[in-house]
Amino acid sequence: MTVTATAASLSALAALVGMTAALGLYGRRAVRTTSDLLIASRGVTPWWNASAIGGEYISAAAYLGTAGLVLAYGADMVWLPMGATAGYVLLQAFVTAPLRRSGAYTISDFAEWRLGSRAVRRIVTGCVCFVGWFYLLPQFQGAGVTLRVLTGAPVWAGWALVIAVALLVVASGGMRSITAVQAVQFWVKLVAVAVPAVALLALWHLDGGADPASAGAPTFARDTRVHVGHGLTVTLPADTVVTVRGPVDGVPRAGERLRLPAGTHTIGPGADVDFPPGAPVPHAGRLTVQDGDTWAMPFGHGEGLGLYAGYSAMLGVLLGTMGLPHILMRFYTNASGTTARRTAAAVPALLALFSVFPVLYGALGRLYTPDLLLTGDLDATVLLLPQRMLPGPAGALLTGLVAAGAFAAFISTSCGIVVAIAGTLSQCVRRRGVTAFRAGVVLALAAPLALLPGIGPQGAANVVTMALCVSACSLCPLLVLGIWWRGLTAPGAGAGLLLGGGLSVAAGVARLVAGPFTGWPAVLLTHPAMLLAPLSFAAMVAVSLLTRRRVPRRAERALARLHLPEDITAR
Amino acid sequence: MADRRRVVVSGATAARARALPQAAPDPGGGPPGAEPSGAGHDPAGRETADTDPPDPPCPSCSVSFPLAACAGEPAGRGGDGAGLAQARALIRVQLRAALTTGATVMIVVTGLPLLLALAPALGRLRADGVPLAWAVLALGIQPVWVAASLLHLRRAEGAERALTRQTSRAAPPEHTAPTGGTAPAGRRGPVGRAGPAGRR
């Protein structure tokens, strides 16, 4: 990263933090009551709220992660943004308006009101916390990677920055100020990703428009020096002659030419490797080498496994979107069920605008930043591309823009999740109010921070998929059945939540802590939604039918209230 | 009108209290958490009660969802049973709409990978150098979702409007309900400076 690029991205970052603080302070001035703090007094219009939801949803995973996944895994990953948008269609169809009409602020409130059970409420609160924590992890990690790539700062600097800004915004202004922060940041992110994308696309065209999927395995287009900070195990697809300064395969080298045979090698720690033009790119341990054809083909590899993994990831994203606590909480800021539904209907259009661009970056990344396959820093694709394709001040400017968008992504998503967790937790304690809310904020940030140093490098999108999977296997069945089926009972809901939520959290933790796995266990642990979501639905229905006597007496009325429009209930 | 409303509210609140004893401190129809301040009326309601049509003033209710407890009694005609029957009919219609939308989404989402798995040649097709599968996934599907979402919005709001018309014919209210759903246009709390809400 050049000095100009670093300066540009740092000033963009400063501008973004300044804007966030200004919006936050503006919100603080307007905050008068606790309810302002929590729900922005329910006076947010559908378009404004839809922008805020878009801003909240476009996290590190969507902004940085998707491009990296497309670079590494190809067409399979183009499905994910599509699935996320489809998830909002389902959310609108099944959840939003009735949930808003229930008047529940959090999913826990909804569960307690609908089923009349404190125990279920506690289980739901647990699920909300795990979904939120899993969702926060990649935001912190993404911030760490971004700051490291842009400025060379240690990763914890990025964590600290995001946490500090989130604390400032959330604890001062609450939902009111984050509505403004997020709605504005959606458009910041859209501009930040779209403008450089158009410029890079034009450059690529001028450059001859090389086909990312034409060659065999990816190769370096020009002389490339790769710095490997920490030790890496890599797979080399073909014999290559390289110049190395630092340890390779355990032998220290001092800038001599070296012929590396195809196969597995260890590089680093602290090695500089120069690759000549046309050299094949070594792939970090967990990535498989794909030729252009396999890369461009959806489900082009590992037939049965690939199809299961694809469907399961898709189902997790689809259903998981329905149960995301921070998104659902946003609808409470709408004045009525009808406006909430209109908000939800506007979200797919906004996401569709955004979701083309990360795919574009990923495809260009295979041509211009293939060295990320070697270092494994896939999340840096979007950040590095402008500098690579356009060295000089113009590239630095675009890098600054992209970096501002990336930090907008971390900050807005982190704020949303922190408010969701803190709101849910503070509603559980006896003395509700601003103090409880602030204590919840601290807890929401502290838990993932404690986990962070212990887990290895994980792609942002992978961890977010995990959070979505937990939500798909626990909160989604609860909401769908609670809203549409009067026969749901508290024991039924509890059984489904414990089974689906517990197993998916266990799978996620196992993946984070014990991995990496290979073969079927890896696929099952990474993508359990296909098994667990139906299991959770089935458990809820079966146990509810077994405990039919415990259907709440007011279930019929509760359902009527959920579905009747306000102008009827209010007359 | 007001008398009838009050009677209904107190009856329904009593029913709630029986069913949900632990929610006793919550004076109205709102779920326990809908009242973040925990003291009496929702402060949000105090601010917006006279501005938001969906939250009309009602002394005996939490304002966040004042008359929801009487949801079983749309327009108060025909007693409890008829109201609940109407609600049940509406739920059936809405469920059918939601399932239709859900099925459309699921068919597209499961159908496309299956198509590509069964006919891999499709995945290799190229239009003007761009792989067709990529173009369809990145550009072609998203408009389908936008359309599905807007269609569902229309269907769901249509069902609600039909019911509103039906009940307002049965019991002409003193203030006619806005025909365009319940969008509380223009009149807003302190944040909603943006123009007419919800009219897109």
Contact status, residue A128 vs residue A108, Cβ threshold 8 Å: yes
CA distance A561 to B29: 10
A263-267 vs A271-275, strand pairing mode: unpaired
CA distance A250 to A268: 8
**Tokens representing A59?**
């996290």
Contact status, residue A133 vs residue A140, Cβ threshold 8 Å: no
Task: Please report which confidence band the pLDDT of residue A98 belongs to, taking 50, 70 and 90 as the band edges.
Answer: very high
Distance of CA A140 to the CA centre of its chain: 11
Angle of helix A475-484 relative to helix A555-563, nearest 10 degrees? Answer: 100
Low-confidence winner among A41-45, A183-187, A278-282, B74-78 (lowest mean pLDDT): B74-78
- The answer, yes or no, to whether residue B38 has pLDDT greater than 50, is no
Question: What average pLDDT does the segment B42-56 reach?
Answer: 31
CA distance A328 to A132: 12
Closest CA to A504 of A127, A140, A139: A127
Q: Which of B64, B94, B109 is facing A318, going by the closest CB pair?
A: B109
Q: Looking at domain A3-207+295-312+322-454, which CATH architecture does it have? A: Up-down Bundle (1.20)
Instruction: Give the residue with greater pLDDT, B42 vs A301.
Output: A301
Which of the residue ranges A192-206, A256-270, A442-456 has the most confident prediction, judged by mean pLDDT? A192-206
**Tokens representing A436?**
């409880």
Closest CA to A76 of A504, A472, A362, A369: A362
Q: Given CB atoms, is A75 within the 8 Å cutoff of chain B? A: yes
Contacts of residue B97 in chain A, CB cutoff 8 Å? Answer: 93
User: Amino acid identity, residue B161?
Assistant: R
Low-confidence winner among A135-139, A509-513, B35-39, B174-178 (lowest mean pLDDT): B35-39
ipTM of the complex: 0.86
Predicted local distance difference test score (pLDDT) of residue A43:
64
Task: Please report which confidence band the pLDDT of residue B180 belongs to, taking 50, 70 and 90 as the band edges.
Answer: very low
Query: pLDDT of B125-154, one tens digit each?
Result: 777 767 777 888 778 888 999 999 999 999
Query: pLDDT of A303-341, one tens digit each?
Result: 556 778 888 888 999 999 999 998 998 888 888 888 999
Q: Chain A 153-212, CB below 8 Å of chain B: which residues? A: 176, 179, 209, 211
| Whole-number average pLDDT of chain A | 84
Contacts of A58 (CB under 8 A, 6+ apart): A186, A189, A351, A354, A409, A412, A413
CA distance A429 to A434: 12
Instruction: Tell me what percent of the residues of chain B surpass a pLDDT of 70.
Output: 42
CA distance A524 to A521: 5
DSSP helix/strand/coil, A565: coil
The residue in chain B having the minimum alpha-carbon distance to the alpha carbon of residue A26 is B191
Instruction: Give the residue with greater pLDDT, B104 vs B37.
Output: B104
Instruction: Give the residue with greater pLDDT, A2 vs A140.
Output: A140
Angle of helix A66-73 relative to helix A381-389, nearest 10 degrees? Answer: 80
To test the contact with chain A by mutation, choose from B37, B107, B145 the residue with the greatest count of A C-beta atoms within 10 A, namely: B145
**Tokens representing A253?**
């080298």
Predicted local distance difference test score (pLDDT) of residue A522:
80
Task: Please report which confidence band the pLDDT of residue A432 belongs to, taking 50, 70 and 90 as the band edges.
Answer: low
Contacts of A535 (CB under 8 A, 6+ apart): A473, A499, A500, A503
Task: Please report which confidence band the pLDDT of residue A361 belongs to, taking 50, 70 and 90 as the band edges.
Answer: very high
Contacts of residue B194 in chain A, CB cutoff 8 Å? Answer: 45, 47-48
Task: Please report which confidence band the pLDDT of residue A215 belongs to, taking 50, 70 and 90 as the band edges.
Answer: low
Question: What average pLDDT does the segment A518-527 reach?
Answer: 80
CA distance A456 to A546: 44
The residue in chain A having the minimum alpha-carbon distance to the alpha carbon of residue B21 is A116
- The answer, yes or no, to whether residue A284 has pLDDT greater than 90, is no
Q: What is the DSSP string of A218-231?
A: -B-SS-EEEEE-S-
Q: Residue B31 and residue A112: Cβ atoms within 8 Å?
A: yes
Count how many Cα atoms sit within 13 Å of the Cα of residue A371 in the half-sphere of its side chain: 19
Q: Chain B 125-154, CB below 8 Å of chain A: which residues? A: 129, 131, 133-134, 137-139, 141-143, 145-146, 148-150, 152-153
Task: Please report which confidence band the pLDDT of residue A428 belongs to, taking 50, 70 and 90 as the band edges.
Answer: confident
- The answer, yes or no, to whether residue A443 has pLDDT greater than 70, is yes
Query: pLDDT of A369-418, one tens digit each?
Result: 888 888 888 888 999 999 888 888 888 889 989 988 888 888 888 888 98
- The answer, yes or no, to whether residue B57 has pLDDT greater than 50, is no
Q: Residue B44 and residue A338: Cβ atoms within 8 Å?
A: no
Q: Residue B12 and residue A557: Cβ atoms within 8 Å?
A: yes
Predicted local distance difference test score (pLDDT) of residue A230:
78
Label residue B14 exposed, middle or buried (CB < 10 Å: 0-12, 13-18, 19+): exposed
Q: Given CB atoms, is A30 within the 8 Å cutoff of chain B? A: yes
Contact status, residue A444 vs residue A466, Cβ threshold 8 Å: no
Q: How many CB atoms lie within 10 A of CB A9?
A: 29
Contacts of residue A552 in chain B, CB cutoff 8 Å? Answer: 19-20
CA distance B141 to A115: 38
Question: What average pLDDT does the segment A295-301 reach?
Answer: 69
Q: How many CB atoms lie within 10 A of CB A29?
A: 11
DSSP helix/strand/coil, A246: strand
CA distance A158 to A138: 12
Q: Residue B138 and residue A557: Cβ atoms within 8 Å?
A: no
Q: Residue B68 and residue A338: Cβ atoms within 8 Å?
A: no
Predicted local distance difference test score (pLDDT) of residue B67:
33
Q: Given CB atoms, is B36 within the 8 Å cutoff of chain A? A: yes
Question: What average pLDDT does the segment B83-107 reach?
Answer: 91
CA distance B110 to B64: 40
- The answer, yes or no, to whether residue A239 has pLDDT greater than 80, is yes
Q: Where are the domains of chain A?
A: 3-207+295-312+322-454, 224-280
Query: pLDDT of A152-175, one tens digit each?
Result: 888 888 888 888 888 887 776 655
Instruction: Give the residue with greater pLDDT, A443 vs B186.
Output: A443
CA distance B159 to A206: 54
Q: Given CB atoms, is A330 within the 8 Å cutoff of chain B? A: no
- The answer, yes or no, to whether residue A179 has pLDDT greater than 80, is no
pTM of the model: 0.81
Angle, vertex CA B120, rays to CA B114 and CA B122, nearest 5? 95
